[in-house]
Amino acid sequence: MSIPSDITAQAVRFIERTTYEDLPGEALIVGRRCMIDTVGLYLAGSREGSVRILIDDALDQGGSADAPLPGAGSQKVPASLAARVWGTAGHAHDWDDTQVSHDPAHVYGLLTHPSVPPLTAALVVASMLGKVSGRDLMLAFQIGFEVECKISEWMKPLHYRRGHHTSGTVGTFGAAAAAAKLLRLEGEKLAHALGLAASFAAGIRVNFGTMTKPLHVGRACENGVIAALLAGRGFEADPAALDGTWGFFSVMGEGLDAEKAREGFGAPLTIVTPGVSIKPYPSGILTHQSMDAMLKLVLDNDLKPEQVERIRFFAGKNIIEPIRYPVARNHLQAKFSMPALLAMIVLCRRASHHEFEDAFVAGDAMQDLQARTDVINDLEIDALGYDKIRSRIEVTTTDGRTLVQWADERYRGGPSNPISDVGLVEKFRMCAEGVIGDTHQEELLALVRDVDGVADIRNLIKLVSGETEPANA
């Protein structure tokens, strides 16, 4: 099937023409929730070892004082370097939100983590520009979110199956679109920004479970900002880089779904329909139903760790292939290891970012229980298809019982079973703990909750970066 020749032009028209007044009320409500979630994740991620390395590197490089860094105080660095750090921090715990699709031909790994790239690019460019209103920030975020999600939705699953990491590849377009909107790029310059983004897009799944996985998103943010800034200076690229024989869709995924693409951008906005999932656990989204199933099994049976003889986990290839570590040796591998995640639930009855510590994951209890966990590809589950995340857990106890729990196919955190506003705030506070004080947590929450009404978002950026001295961190 030939690739439609007007996808880039459609994107340009959508970015140029969409105004704040075009955004439906539900999009604004969900957008604020996504922002609360993401801002918390910047704070939590700012303490990660990978992010500290990137902060040190950015400060050592120096350059124009465009934007601060999360949790790093008042020093500022060039916009592109700031975007790299903010984006990596937002994805560092693999706890950021996930796009939803109802296409039964889709695979979950093809869906992107949509909020970090456009929000990062918008915040960094806003810092560079100076006074930017919350309405303009929200508009840029929503536009980047939509462009990113529609490109991801229209791509064929081969993109992910070939090993591309969609949040790194497609995320670049989300960042570029958001940055371009705030920079007021139009026409050819806007098309050139998307063309540059198409060549910059990168990220391969072999690096899942390492520091480089969240850096994919950091680089998407960095490259999206660079694409918009260079295009604004007059740097040229192919003005139809998404389309045609050698365009992004063809080269990166051998095509797209032309019928879905004909619906166009914003019809409806993805953030509204089919929506977005806010993640309950800091691990790959493919793991969450199974973790909830294990938690239910543990609580329903008041199962103690010493009562577990063996765990058998049954799932299809859509879970087993990307969640690939048979035994996790560190917290990054644990995010992609069903034995580690199930063991964590048994041992702790929860899995927050505080449990994802190298010392705990490498400890005797975690290593022993992981070794007694079997991951089994169930062909019957495979045959049901990959439109939902399906799995079954069987626990053999030391007294000879076999406890069985199927995962609930309704995703907790998704539009049909969302995390409550209270739960979202609890997650934010957990992320902010130890990074900014209680008073500034409340101030930051209030700013993001009413971001559309904020005349100048610079104080929001200062609170995340730690420019404002914490009250009681």
The yes-or-no verdict on residue 218 having pLDDT over 60 is: yes
- Residue 459 to residues 22, 311, 322, 440, 451, Cα–Cα distance (Å): 27, 49, 39, 11, 11
pLDDT on residue 29 = 98
Q: Which residue in this structure is represented by tokens 């993109």?
A: 159
* pLDDT recorded at residue 27: 98
**pLDDT band with cut points at 50, 70 and 90 for residue 106:** confident
pLDDT tens by residue, 329-340 = 999 899 999 999
Residue 240 pLDDT greater than 90, yes or no: yes
Neighbours of 43 (CB within 10 A): 27
Q: Is 366 in contact with 346 (CB distance < 8 Å)?
A: no
pLDDT at site 244: 85
Distance CA 141, CA 33 (A): 12
Beta strands in 21-88, from DSSP E residues, in sequence order: 67-68, 76-77
Nearest residue to 97 via CA among 155, 171, 162: 171
* Sign of the alpha-carbon dihedral angle for 246, 247, 250, 251: positive
Cα angle vertex 26, ends 193, 113, to 5°? 45
- pLDDT averaged over the chain? 94
* 12-16, 68-72, 350-354, 419-423: least confidently modelled range: 350-354
Rounded to the nearest 5 degrees, what angle is found at the Cα of 177, between the Cα atoms of 101 and 7?
A: 65
Q: Which of the two residues, 239 and 4, has the higher pLDDT score? A: 239
The whole-angstrom separation of Cα 280 and Cα 261 is 31
Q: Is the pLDDT of residue 408 over 90?
A: no
Q: Are strands 373-377 and 308-315 parallel, antiparallel or unpaired?
A: parallel
- How far, in Å, CA of 175 to CA of 123, rounded? 10
What pLDDT is attached to residue 411? Answer: 79
Which residues does residue 98 pair with via DSSP β-bridges, in sequence order? 277
The residue length of the chain stands at 473
Nearest Cα to Cα of residue 369 among 392, 400, 348, 351: 348
255, pLDDT greater than 90 = no
pLDDT at position 473: 36
Tens digits of per-residue pLDDT, 425-441?
A: 999 999 998 899 999 99
Mean pLDDT of 465-469: 74
pLDDT computed for residue 4 by the predictor: 63
If one compares 253 and 428, the residue with the highest pLDDT of the two is 428
Q: Which of 154, 50, 127 is closest to 460 using CA atoms?
A: 127
**Residue 188 clears pLDDT 60, i.e. is over it:** yes
The answer, yes or no, to whether residue 259 has pLDDT greater than 60, is yes
Secondary structure in 3-state letters for 419-438 = CCHHHHHHHHHHHHCCCCCH
285 has a pLDDT exceeding 90: no
In the chain, % of residues over pLDDT 90: 83
* Confidence at residue 133, expressed as pLDDT on a 0 to 100 scale: 97
| pLDDT tens digits, 141-181 | 999 999 999 999 999 888 988 999 999 999 999 999 999 99
Distance from C-alpha of 181 to C-alpha of 469, rounded to nearest angstrom: 32
The first and second tokens of residue 405, run together, are: 């729990």
Determine the pLDDT at residue 471.
37
Amino acid identity of residue 394, one-letter, is: E
Asked whether residue 472 carries a pLDDT value surpassing 80, the answer given is no
Instruction: Over range 69-90, report the average pLDDT.
Output: 96
Contacts of 303 (CB under 8 A, 6+ apart): 297, 346, 395, 397, 403
Give the closest residue to 337 by CA, choosing from 280, 388, 417, 281.
281
pLDDT tier for residue 110 given thresholds of 50, 70 and 90: low
Structure tokens at 165: 């990491």
At 208, give phi and psi (nearest 5°). Answer: -60, 140
Q: Which residues pair with residue 256 across a beta bridge?
A: 155
Per-residue pLDDT at 8 exceeds 80: yes
Confidence (pTM)? 0.89
Task: Decide if 174 contacts 194 (C-beta within 8 A).
Answer: no
Q: Are 366 and 347 in contact (CB under 8 A)?
A: yes
pLDDT beyond 80 at 469: no
Q: Which domains does the chain have, with CATH numbers?
A: 7-277 (1.10.4100.10), 285-406 (3.30.1330.120)
Preceding amide of 274 cis, omega within 30: yes
d(CA 435, CA 71): 7
